[in-house]
Amino acid sequence: MASRGPDGCGEWFSPDGRVGLGHRRLAIIDLSDTGAQPMVSADGTRVIVFNGEIYNYHELRSLLPDGGTGLRSTSDTEVLLELYAVLGTEMLPRLLGMFAFALYDIRAGRTLLARDLYGVKPLYYTVGSGSVRIASQVKALLAGGRVSHRQDPAGVVGFFLRGSVPEPFTLYEAIRALPAGSYAWVDGRGVAEPQAYASIAEILTEAVRDPARVSEEERVERMRQAFLDSVRYHLVSDVRVGAFLSSGRDSTSIIGLARDAGAADLKTVTLAFTEYQGTVRDEAPLAEEVARYYGTDHTTRLISKDEFQREFPKVIEAMDQPTVDAVNSYFVSRAVAEVGIKVALSGTGGDELLGGYFTSWKVPLAVRMWGIPSRVPFLGDAVLAAYRALAPRRSARVSPKSGAVIKYSRDYPNAYFVLRAMFMPWELGEILGEEVAREGMRRLDPVALFARGLDPDPGRAFERVVALDSRFYMKDQLLRDIDWASMAHSLEVRVPLVEAHLLRAVAPLLVHARGDRKRYLPASPSKPLPRAVFTRPKTGFSVPLRQWVLGDKPGSKGSDFAMRGWARRLYDTAFRPEGGI
């Protein structure tokens, strides 16, 4: 855990020896010793360990009985600790930021575990041997000992279906993730059932129920102000702030908004690869143009194949659970850390919030086209059986999803499942064995898991897909990957487009919006984005994984099939247990 907090460490034990809290510190706000953790309240009745940032902690001080005048530090941690004494769990929806914490209430003899709405910061726990253990990483709990390493078929199946392990499951039966947007009490009886204090689907449902009825001009202005406010909050820091800069609209918009918010000394970093030089995938030239345009202190870090392959074993070692899409985050985080930056902004979340993925139109289209046929008894199964019988005679590059569309298009959870799947259920037996695959599917029940992400149901196509992509793709894969990959380099990554208060502000504005909702973000900076950012083809932020790890030739087709191959190789070489699951 040392790389998560190289600036200090601390421990606290209760007098009766029943509770112990430990913390590794990455000092960002209040760099003095008064901000160290575990932090004990002034009256000695509460102790906290906290991972993340509460950006509106200055405003929250006003909710304290003395207006915050009695605080001993200038940290957000102490505000959180004292606010609990005033509001208890009612404080959670008021927190603007990313957080996971354990707060021990000594008088009540219980500990509060809580996590932010989107799950930007992780929190894992395990119960056994008469104790409860929590940590920010799965591997930390395993390293602590006395925790079973037996893998969970649901977690393994989830990885092959999705490319990452879906929460609350982990790769291990004994370890669970505290659900995002929830809290749980821990006492002598163990961990109580987690309670949701907010949900993405609920916020979107409320927005549909009470949309903002405004002119397009007012919509644009209110969207701009919401984005600007979020970026301004995410700049709160006592150390210099940097930013990931690709050549895309989201990261460029964040740079422009950061300049509007007063970031005069912004450090930007772009990752480039020798494999991509001179091709459309090379983001460096346009990123450098953007940096000059907005006047940032910019660095382009070029990675060669040899350097990539030398570093790659460290990527696998740092990887907390198997995932097919984190290598890019690891290398760009390393590049930012190399130039002395401890905090970096990322444009992650723009596609989820504003419907920028293929799912925003493909999922509704699949339900409209195939929803009724999928309900015809046995039709979907018959089409799928016919496809599977004919598939071996067809090209090996034909997607296994092709025969499943009718079977899985009856509603949004089903359609989302098939369109976001990496492997299909009937392929798992070959990889894991029929018994493990069957038990994993039973325990995971992926369609039911997605259905819970739409409870309550917003009732509209756009909001349904936003809820599904935000809760499952972004939380389970992108945000989790950013966390372990950045913390491997002692870097805190902030995501201004992934925040509960921002969602509450923009969701009502998007209900009656027409056309491409992605337009609102790049329209927000006062200095318009360079035209080249709009004309450059969207390539995504990626590394030459297929060429440098899987051996594909440059320009070869079939990225979906490459990811399937990478998933199998990753699990077999780094995560598959010797004795089987």
CATH number at residue 34: 3.60.20.10
- Do 540 and 421 share a domain, yes or no? no
Per-residue pLDDT of 195-238, as tens digits, reads 999 999 999 999 999 999 999 999 999 999 999 999 999 999 99
Per-residue pLDDT of 95-112, as tens digits, reads 999 999 999 999 999 999
Query: Considering the domain boundaries, does residue 422 fall inside one?
Result: yes
3 state DSSP class of 301: strand
The mean pLDDT of 69-86, rounded to a whole number, is 96
The mean pLDDT of 160-186, rounded to a whole number, is 97
**pLDDT the model gives residue 201:** 98
- Do 78 and 191 share a domain, yes or no? yes
The mean pLDDT of 370-389, rounded to a whole number, is 73
Q: How crowded is residue 35: how many other Cβ atoms within 10 Å of its Cβ?
A: 22
Q: Tell me, what CATH number does 263's domain have? A: 3.40.50.620
- Do 281 and 171 share a domain, yes or no? no
Mean pLDDT of the chain: 93
Domain span at residue 136 reads 2-198
Query: Considering the domain boundaries, does residue 286 fall inside one?
Result: yes
Query: Considering the domain boundaries, does residue 472 fall inside one?
Result: no
Query: Considering the domain boundaries, does residue 471 fall inside one?
Result: no
pLDDT at 556 over 60: no
Per-residue pLDDT of 424-437, as tens digits, reads 999 999 999 999 99
**pLDDT the model gives residue 580:** 81
Q: Are strands 267-273 and 182-187 parallel, antiparallel or unpaired?
A: unpaired
- Do 125 and 259 share a domain, yes or no? no
**pLDDT the model gives residue 408:** 81
Task: Judge residue 106's burial from the number of C-beta atoms within 10 Å of its C-beta, 0-12 exposed, 13-18 middle, 19 or more buried.
Answer: middle
Single residue among 137, 165, 198 that ends a domain in this structure: 198
Q: How many domains does the chain have?
A: 3
**pLDDT the model gives residue 311:** 95
Per-residue pLDDT of 17-35, as tens digits, reads 999 999 999 999 999 999 9
pLDDT at 555 over 60: no
| Residues making up the chain, counted from first to last | 581
Per-residue pLDDT of 42-59, as tens digits, reads 999 999 999 999 999 999
Q: How crowded is residue 572: how many other Cβ atoms within 10 Å of its Cβ?
A: 10
- Do 323 and 419 share a domain, yes or no? no
Cα angle for residues 218, 220, 222 (degrees, 5° grid): 65
**pLDDT the model gives residue 280:** 84
Query: Considering the domain boundaries, does residue 530 fall inside one?
Result: yes
d(CA 301, CA 325): 20
Using a pLDDT cut of 90, give the percent of the chain over it.
83
Task: Evaluate whether 80 touches 50 at the Cβ level (below 8 Å).
Answer: yes
The mean pLDDT of 153-163, rounded to a whole number, is 97
E strands in 164-231: 175-177, 182-187, 190-191, 195-196
- Do 56 and 193 share a domain, yes or no? yes
**pLDDT the model gives residue 167:** 97
Verify cis geometry, omega within 30 degrees of 0, for the bond prior to 179.
Answer: no
- Do 447 and 519 share a domain, yes or no? no
**pLDDT the model gives residue 547:** 76
- Do 24 and 35 share a domain, yes or no? yes
Single residue among 164, 198, 232 that ends a domain in this structure: 198
More confident residue, 3 or 558: 3
Query: Considering the domain boundaries, does residue 581 fall inside one?
Result: no
- Do 403 and 319 share a domain, yes or no? no
More confident residue, 519 or 396: 519
Confidence of residue 371 (pLDDT cuts 50, 70, 90): confident
- Do 56 and 153 share a domain, yes or no? yes
**pLDDT the model gives residue 573:** 93
* Cβ within 8 Å of residue 552, ≥6 positions away: 546, 562
Query: Considering the domain boundaries, does residue 446 fall inside one?
Result: yes
- Do 14 and 158 share a domain, yes or no? yes
d(CA 451, CA 416): 10
- Do 329 and 278 share a domain, yes or no? yes
**pLDDT the model gives residue 539:** 64
Confidence of residue 281 (pLDDT cuts 50, 70, 90): confident
Phi, psi torsion values for 474, nearest 5 degrees: -70, -50
Query: Considering the domain boundaries, does residue 564 fall inside one?
Result: no
Phi, psi torsion values for 11, nearest 5 degrees: -140, 150
d(CA 178, CA 532): 43
**pLDDT the model gives residue 235:** 98
The mean pLDDT of 322-348, rounded to a whole number, is 95
The mean pLDDT of 455-484, rounded to a whole number, is 97
Confidence of residue 397 (pLDDT cuts 50, 70, 90): low
Give the per-residue SS3 of 456-508. Answer: CCCCCHHHHHHHHHHHHHHHHHHHHHHHHHHHCCCCEEECCCCCHHHHHHHHH
Single residue among 198, 221, 253 that ends a domain in this structure: 198
pLDDT at 546 over 60: yes
E strands in 288-374: 297-303, 343-345
The mean pLDDT of 472-491, rounded to a whole number, is 97
Tokens of 69: 């005048």
Per-residue pLDDT of 296-309, as tens digits, reads 999 999 999 999 99
**pLDDT the model gives residue 540:** 59
